[in-house]
Amino acid sequence: MKDNKFLKISFLLAMVFTIFLAGCSNSNSSDSSTRTLKDSMGHEVKVPSQPKRVVGSYLEDYLVAVGVKPVVQWSVKNATGTQEYLKKDLKGVPTIDYSLPYEAVTKAKPDLILIGNDSAVQNGKYNQYKKIAPTYVVKNGTNVSWRQQFTDVAKAVNKTDKANQVLNKYDKKLASAKKELKEKAANKSVAVLWVTNNSAFMVSDKSASGSLLYGDLGLKEPDLVKQVSEKATADWSSVSLEKLAKLDADYIFLVNSDKDADMFKDPIWSNIKAVKNHNLYQYGDDSSWQYKGPIAYTQQIDHVLNDIAK
């Protein structure tokens, strides 16, 4: 009888231990499991269900917004140029050149590589990156909105629910801002300029801050911005001072990277409508005006309200 009792107890303990081990095994397998997603270029990519080391150059705004801290951050000019408006969120994150050199990507030891533009993986580059880690090209192109790109990034890192929360919060802020602007700056037109190396550039109406001002906020687009945007091949297009003389925007937001530019001393500049009427609002390279994403746009909305809806 004692032997039978002992055997029963031993059997029960063995069963409990087996169940415990199975639970641990399932837990571990879920941590290391993958999901198969099709990216914008049609690649079938096995991405980690819970990626821990993400490389997403120039997609940092989207990643930070959903609570993912990338292992490297975008930079230009030997790391002298970064997205300064994300400085606090990316504290301690090393830089990587915008061209994503293979050696630098390998050194970052990613478990997921996110690419923001088809052109970045042309000429065999995709095959090189996928040897390093699963590589997912997110939605991009002139017909892809920032919201579509944001939600695609969120899908890739398994943060769709968080992305929806971010967009809901953003849309509430946007609705409130539009109401205030309608009351205090109805039918007013705006433009964004960037001056660097004594040259002026104008943002396209569907890129960066242009997408926010003319798309999300619905502010009036000056004729010159429309003309420049129609021929634009990049987010920012070079505009001569002579052309700027025709800029009839009520307000100008200026990203000033060249405070000593000779063009600012030229009478043509002084006679631009918004400059002449003291409706020129200046920001530095550390601002978000050159970028896009829920964090950048939230900051820009605050700037717009502070400047023209006082």
The per-residue pLDDT for range 224-250, each reduced to its tens digit, is 999 999 999 999 999 999 999 999 999
Residue written as tokens 């039918």?
Answer: 187
Q: What is the pLDDT of residues 253-279, one digit of tens each?
A: 999 999 999 999 999 999 999 999 999
User: Tokens at residue 125, please?
Assistant: 């580059």
User: Has residue 14 been placed in a domain?
Assistant: no
- Last residue of a domain, which of 113, 130, 158? 158
Assigned domain for 75 exists: yes
109 and 186 inside one domain: no
Q: Does residue 304 share a domain with residue 194?
A: yes
Report pLDDT digits (tens) over 86-125: 999 999 999 999 999 999 999 999 999 999 999 999 999 9
Question: Would residue 78 count as lying in a domain?
Answer: yes
Q: Based on the fold, state whether residues 150 and 191 are members of the same structural domain.
A: no
Residue 167, in any domain of the structure? no
| Whole-model pTM over 0.85 | yes
Mean pLDDT of 26-47: 80
Residue finishing a domain among 158, 189, 204: 158
Report the CATH number at residue 206.
3.40.50.1980
Q: Which residues does 219 contact at the CB level (< 8 Å), separation at least 6?
A: 181, 185, 188, 189, 190, 213, 304
Please name every residue paired with 254 in a beta bridge, in sequence order, or none if there are none. Answer: 193, 282
- Phi/psi of residue 135, each to 5°? -120, 125
Element (H, E) at 8: helix 2-31
Find the domain containing 271 and state its range.
176-308
Give the total number of structural domains in the chain.
Answer: 2
Is residue 209 domain-shared with residue 122, that is, in the same domain?
Answer: no
The answer to whether residue 169 sits within a structural domain is: no
